[in-house]
Amino acid sequence: MSTTPPDGSPPDNAGSNGTAPDNPPPNSTAPENAGSNSTAPNRTASPNAAPQSAGAQHKPGSWGELFSAPYRLAVIVLAGGVLLYAMNVYLTAALLPSAVADLGDQQLYAWVLTVFLLASVIASLFVSRLIADVGPRTAYLIGFGLFGLGSLISAVAPTMPIMLGGRAIQGLGGGLLAGLGFAVIRRAVPEHLITRSLGVSSAMWGVGNLVGPSIGGLFAQLGWWRWAMALLVLLAIGLGWMAAKRMPGHQRGEKGPAIPGLALLLVSAAATAISIAGVIDGVWVGILLAAGVLMLVAFVLRERTATVRVLPGITYQRGNPLKWVYLSLAILAVVSTSEGFIPLFGQELGGLGPLLAGFLGAALSWGWTIGALGTSGLITERAQGRARLIGPIVLGLGIAGYAALQLHDPSWWVIGGWALALVVAGCGIGVAFQQGAASAIKATDDAAEATRAATGVSTVQLMSNALGTAVAGVLVARGGDDVLASARLLLWPFAALALAGALTAWAANRSIAKLTGSKRHPAEPALAGDRA
């Protein structure tokens, strides 16, 4: 994927070493870390900010505008980081049954997923500070470097504990890449292009969930799962080189935000406690689950009163919809973690090979991509609110349909039903998550809080993925050697949770309506124009 300008020449002010200059050219986007105390730039004061006409927020930009000269390079670099992260998710899910069979320690199956996600949560909380301290270019190099090193360790690991160590390092890099993408999106494109840019990120997940299962499943079927991990190392090196060439450098004098250490400790401890509950028996299972829940409650109470928070302060203001938006996104993210176990169910219940089982595992994210791209042109709050409400209902029905079809030695018709149900479920996530993320990003006009709200989307998603995977591991482990029982124990509760997400979406819509007074743009028809 090239970031060379159309005429093939480097930028006029590129340095002799070929790297991007510390200050972008006049017609580029605003500096990534402008401002003295925040990583957010002052968009209203920036001479480089794209002008917006009155009511521009009611007119979504075109795909052509998104990939025009002022925004093209930033969009491509950010999309590359998402692509690497997405490929890793589906590649690992496809080859994990083969890797666990080779390395042993079947009881640690869920830990391979949880350790990566937990490390991603920890790293994501350092994104804003890292941008301020070293700049976007170095931050991306650190992210790609950690991801590549972790992939290399996983590729050569002789035992499961060493692979878990590699996955932790890989997760640190992945968390930085995921957080960096959200942290700069508001600065990279104007407001009316935000949903389009989110659509590009969703498209990268689509590419990742096509290429990831293909590579992971094929290499696993050939007995070469380690080489699939090695391929991630090469991709990290290539994308790191691209980031070094194109991302802006560090601006001196920038002061990064403090790190919420106690909140970070509480979330990490909660996920760890729940994960351990999945590999032990007896009374300690209940004790550890209760401890995990109590630590999550302590996290929320700490957040409400702390001066240094994980999420923006407006999340906890009375009447602000951000808390309901984040909770809705969290439910979607938790339910989505079920896809990590779908290749296992496909192989054990459906008799599928690693390649086909890997593609089955990606079906939910194919639906996610379809739903996100299909609703990226929604422009009215009424249409966006409907999407936020309908999404979790569709997700719940899809997961329930997949659960109802679980049985031993199914026919190809039933397996086709599995795939269809998962695609439908994924559409529900894509429809709701797309609009929920956009609502969070546009929750405030304050540049500093807007950046924290944007980064919060990634943080909430990663935290929910880590906790969801830990809970999923506990539910699957309760089925013991009966894979069919494990599948049902996982899927039915997750379907119910998804349907409950409609309640939080309703609360978010109600809060947004109160906050905005349901105002419509004067030129906007009452029932028309919901789509671009």
Residue type at 76 in one-letter notation = I
More confident residue, 117 or 291: 291
Look at residues 167, 152, 213 and name the one whose alpha carbon lies nearest to residue 352: 213
pLDDT band, very low/low/confident/very high, at 254 (cuts 50, 70, 90): low
For residue 154, which of 116, 120, 124 has the smallest C-alpha distance?
116
Cα–Cα distance for residue pair 197/174, rounded to 1 Å? 20
DSSP class of residue 36 equals: S
- pLDDT in the model for residue 239: 82
Q: Is 530 helix (H, G, I), strand (E, B) or coil?
A: coil
Q: How far apart are CA 230 and CA 228, in angstroms?
A: 5
Strand stretches in 29-124, DSSP E: none
Q: Are 419 and 361 in contact (CB under 8 A)?
A: no
- CA distances 155 to 20, 89, 163, 210, Å, are 32, 15, 8, 21
Q: Does the structure show a pLDDT above 90 at 470?
A: no
Give 256's pLDDT tier (boundaries 50, 70, 90).
Answer: low
Q: Which residue has the higher pLDDT, 217 or 251?
A: 217
Q: Cβ-count burial of 63 within 10 angstroms (0-12 exposed, 13-18 middle, 19+ buried)?
A: middle
- Exposed e or buried b per residue across 42-57, where buried means at least 16 C-beta atoms within 10 angstroms of its C-beta: ebeeeebebeeeeeee
pLDDT at 8 over 70: no
* pLDDT at 194 > cutoff 50: yes
Q: Bigger pLDDT: 451 or 114?
A: 114
Tokens found for residue 508? 């978010």
Work out the average pLDDT over 38-47.
33
Question: Rounded mean pLDDT of the chain?
Answer: 78
Across residues 173-190, what is the average pLDDT?
76
d(CA 231, CA 92): 12
Section 223-247 average pLDDT: 84
pLDDT digits (tens, 9 = 90+) for 369-415: 888 888 877 777 888 889 999 999 999 999 999 999 999 889 999 99
Judge whether 190 and 56 are in contact, CB under 8 Å. yes
Contacts within 8 Å (CB) and 24+ apart, 146-149: 146/170, 146/172, 146/173, 146/176, 147/84, 147/88, 147/173, 147/174, 147/177, 147/232, 147/236, 148/173, 148/232, 148/233, 148/236, 148/237, 148/240, 149/173
Of 13-17, 23-27, 373-377, 393-397, where does the model show the most confidence? 393-397
Counting beta carbons within 10 angstroms of the beta carbon of residue 422, is it exposed (0 to 12), middle (13 to 18) or buried (19 or more)?
Answer: buried
Task: Please determine, for residue 41, whether its predicted confidence score (pLDDT) is greater than 90.
Answer: no
Q: How many CA atoms lie within 13 A of 35 on its CB side?
A: 23
Considering only residues 39 and 466, tell me which one the structure prediction assigns the higher pLDDT.
466
- Structure pTM? 0.71
The residue among 276 and 447 whose pLDDT is bigger is 276
Q: Are 132 and 254 in contact (CB under 8 A)?
A: yes
Q: How confident is the model at residue 31 (pLDDT cuts 50, 70, 90)?
A: very low
CA distance 400 to 380: 31
Give the whole-angstrom CA distance, residue 18 versus residue 245.
Answer: 6
Rounded distance between C-alpha atoms, residue 516 and residue 347, angstroms: 50
Q: Which amino acid is at 395?
A: L
What's the length of the chain?
Answer: 532
Please state the rounded mean pLDDT for residues 40-47: 32
Confidence of residue 60 (pLDDT cuts 50, 70, 90): low
| Residues 81, 204 contacting (CB under 8 angstroms) | no
Chain position carrying tokens 């080779």: 102
d(CA 406, CA 404): 6
Average pLDDT over residues 86-107: 82
Q: Could you tell me the CA-to-CA distances from 24 to 3, 141, 242 in Å, in that order? A: 15, 18, 16
Q: Kindly tell me if the per-residue pLDDT of 281 is higher than 80.
A: no
Can you tell me the mean pLDDT for 44-65?
49
pLDDT value of position 40: 33
Residue with the bigger pLDDT between 434 and 35: it is: 434
pLDDT surpasses 70 at 506:
yes
Lowest mean pLDDT among 191-205, 277-291, 425-439: 191-205
**pLDDT reading at 102 higher than 60:** yes
Count of CB atoms situated within 10 Å of the CB of 279? 16
Tokens of 381: 């709050």
- pLDDT greater than 60 at residue 6: no
Instruction: Tell me the mean pLDDT in the region 252-275.
Output: 77
Instruction: Kindly tell me if the per-residue pLDDT of 524 is higher than 60.
Output: no
Q: What is the pLDDT of residues 119-167, one digit of tens each?
A: 887 887 788 788 888 888 888 889 999 999 999 999 999 988 899 999 9
The model's confidence at residue 424, banded by pLDDT at 50, 70 and 90, is: very high
Indicate the range of 339-348, 437-446, 504-513 predicted with least confidence: 437-446
Per-residue DSSP letters for 270-324? HHHHHHHHTS--THHHHHHHHHHHHHHHHHHHHHHH-SS-SS-GGGGSTT-THHH
pLDDT value at residue 120: 82
Q: Is the pLDDT of residue 27 over 50?
A: no
Q: 16-25, 216-225, 513-522: lowest mean pLDDT where?
A: 16-25
Tell me which of 2-6, 390-394, 456-460 is least confident.
2-6
CB contact burial 337-347 (16+ within 10 A = b; e otherwise)? bbbbbbbbbbb
pLDDT at position 428 is 94
Please give the average per-residue pLDDT across 457-481, as a whole number.
84
CA distances from 226 to 119, 156, 343 (A): 21, 7, 18
Nearest Cα neighbor of 75 from 224, 158, 215, 185 is 185
Predicted pLDDT of residue 427: 94
What is d(CA 103, CA 116) in angstroms, rounded to the nearest whole number? 18
Looking at domain 70-259+308-516, which of 3.30.460.10, 3.40.630.10, 3.30.420.40, 1.20.1250.20 is its CATH number?
1.20.1250.20
Is residue 527 predicted with pLDDT exceeding 50? Answer: no
The answer to whether the CB of 143 falls within 8 A of the CB of 423 is no
Q: What is the pLDDT of residue 528?
A: 34
Distances (CA, A) of 371 to 80, 364, 415, 500: 21, 11, 22, 20
Kindly state the average pLDDT of the residues 482-500: 95
CB 194 within 8 A of CB 438: yes
Report angle CA 158, 159, 163 to the nearest 5 degrees: 95
